[in-house]
Amino acid sequence: MKYKGYEAVVSVDDEQGIFHGEVINIRDVITFQGQSFSELKQAFIESVEDYLEFCAQRGEEPDKPFSGRFVVRIDPELHKQISIKAKQEGKSLNTWVSEKLSSGV
């Protein structure tokens, strides 16, 4: 499920007959639940809106969905080898690493 850039996963609790959802593309925690898909979707929207309103009331920036940037610490020798391999293939380090990560998911 997606709403305003926030993305959620949903699971089912068979015993209680309830759907549970959680926003997965931010560090803050946003959860919601419903007994039907339409109820679940409405709860998702309301939870995101509540989160945004809560942040505004506190004067805080809401956690944004992932920016596409992250820092990885690796052994300097591996960094060197990856950089060489990227250059050999005529690619930037970012492009080369992105392609490798994409093929792994």
* Length of the chain (residues): 105
Q: What would the DSSP string read from start to end of 12-63?
A: EETTTTEEEEEE-SSSS--EEEESSHHHHHHHHHHHHHHHHHHHHHHT-PPP
Residues of the chain falling short of pLDDT 50:
none
Q: List, in order, residues 6 or more apart from 76 with CB less than 8 Å away.
A: none
**Domains of the chain and CATH, by start:** 2-58 (3.30.160), 71-105 (no CATH)
What pLDDT is recorded for position 66?
A: 75
What pLDDT is recorded for position 71?
A: 87
What pLDDT is recorded for position 64?
A: 83
